[in-house]
Structure 1
Amino acid sequence: MTVLAPLHFADPREAAALAAFLGRLVHYDRAAAVRLQAAGGTLAVFGRPPSFEVLAIRTARLVDAVELDVTVSAGELLEGIEESAGKAVVPDSVTGPPWTGVLPPRAGWAPVAGLPGAADMRAAVAAAVAEFRARDEELPEERRTRAERDRIGHEIWSRTLGPTGLPLRAVHAAQSLGFLPPTREESPVALFASGPWLRLRTPYGSIALRTVPLSLAVTPR
């Protein structure tokens, strides 16, 4: 077993923000795993909340230029965060799910035009949720099954946001994980593309997803 030194955050508030992110991941999946990558004084934490079919990314500044690349239990990492001390104990590594081997590229991102503001994105998610509930209530009893509800949900959340090509499920994930800025806050939200990847970036985190299925020719990072 390799014992890793604790991670010390440049600002204790970043420890609290990371704890909030991990708490949301664990809420969706108690057995969630996260991949940690640290280099040059920055920590990136990758998670995959179930049902959204996206990767969620939270970054934090570290005091030291630690070199780290490991997959761990999200719940155990959450337990190892000391918010008041601004540090986190990295738990033992685990065998991660397949997604941990294929992450978005580090460079080569180009801006994508046409992304609406955070308030409009929140409105789009609210409208989609309302539509799902209305269509679910209209289902006759014999069709009110998990498969039918999944079909409706897939249809709604696969719709793209204007001309951007970004599916609504990515925006829904950003809102559910606390990444979308509050309506009252005018914070920059941007969309970028790199090859088959799209990345929705906000001041609170990023949501990344592939726009085409993964082929066998792709080499895991």
Structure 2
Amino acid sequence: MTVLHLADEGEAADLAAFLSRLLHYDRGAAVRLQAAGTALAVFGRPPSFEVLAIRAARLAKPYENGLDVTLDVTVSAGELLESVDESAATAVVPGAVTGPPWAGVLPPRGGWRAVPGLPAPDALRAMVGAGVAEFRSRTQELAAEQRTRAELDRVGREIWSRTVGDTQLPVRAVHAAQSLGFLRATRELALLSSGAWLRLRTPYGSIAVRRAGLGTLDVSVR
């Protein structure tokens, strides 16, 4: 049994909250765990947003499990959540599962550079609110026979595929960040790029997305 010793109760609570939010969108969600030294990265993909969500956590001591000094495994998000003990600041790594396709393709580890043009956090939150209101208004105006899943998806795709300001970041990435609790009261936001990837970084987690038109260039398969 592999036990992760998180830095404190707060790290354990934040990890549990992140897993709970992922499971809200996909009850069968899987997450990929990578740990090295005192850093743990948890990758998930909420299907509603078509983005990769990344939650980092601090470990109380450098990771080791016998001779293994790194961890890289895809597991059930639900089983991992059930194992989190917030008072003890621990989590038990469940058995590995067959990972979904996204779990084999992660953003690069390095080469990130700042991208200008990201609006202020308040403006980003307002943008998400406006998108939600527009979606609600447009779908409510549809006649009953037109309110099909395909039409709702089309309207949603049109709204959330718009880009943020002068950047190439789709609004759905900001929507995902807010829905997963990454856009809490903070002004420490950054937009970064590396190869085909864009990453919205906050103190609570990151949202990564591949830029349109760049295909699968510069992805890390590992």
TM-score, with length taken from structure 1: 0.93
The aligned amino acid for 2:102 is: W
Instruction: Give 1:120's aligned residue.
Output: 123
How many pairs were matched up?
A: 215
Is contact 1:187–1:203 with CA below 8 Å preserved after alignment? no
The aligned amino acid for 1:165 is: Q
Closer, same or farther: CA 111–27 of 1 in aligned 2, 3 Å: same
* 1:2-21 alignment, distance < 5 Å: 3-4=1-2, 6-21=3-18
Is contact 1:159–1:167 with CA below 8 Å preserved after alignment? yes
- The yes-or-no answer on 1:153 pairing with 2:150 is no
Runs of at least 5 residues in structure 2 that lack an aligned partner in the other structure: 64-69
1:87-115 Cα offsets, whole Å, 9 max, x none, are 11111111110000000111000001010
4+ residue stretches of structure 1 with deviation over 3 A?
Answer: 212-219
CA distance in 2, matches of 1:219, 1:88: 27
CA distance in 1, matches of 2:175, 2:217: 29
* 1:31-42 alignment, distance < 5 Å: 31-42=28-39
* 1:14-93 alignment, distance < 5 Å: 14-66=11-63, 67-93=70-96
Instruction: After TM superposition, give the deviation of residue 140 of structure 1 in Å.
Output: 2.1
Instruction: After TM superposition, give the deviation of residue 72 of structure 1 in Å.
Output: 0.3
Is contact 2:38–2:60 with CA below 8 Å preserved after alignment? yes
The aligned amino acid for 1:205 is: G
Closer, same or farther: CA 219–125 of 1 in aligned 2, 3 Å: closer
Instruction: Give 2:170's aligned residue.
Output: 167
Identical-pair percentage? 68
Is contact 2:196–2:217 with CA below 8 Å preserved after alignment? no
The aligned amino acid for 2:34 is: Q
CA distance in 2, matches of 1:116, 1:173: 16
Instruction: After TM superposition, give the deviation of residue 216 of structure 1 in Å.
Output: 9.2
Is contact 2:196–2:219 with CA below 8 Å preserved after alignment? no
CA distance in 2, matches of 1:42, 1:217: 24
Runs of at least 5 residues in structure 1 that lack an aligned partner in the other structure: none
- The yes-or-no answer on 1:176 pairing with 2:173 is no
Which moved further from structure 2: 161-170 or 211-220? 211-220
CA distance in 2, matches of 1:120, 1:218: 30
Closer, same or farther: CA 189–219 of 1 in aligned 2, 3 Å: closer
CA distance in 1, matches of 2:116, 2:215: 25
Is contact 2:195–2:217 with CA below 8 Å preserved after alignment? no
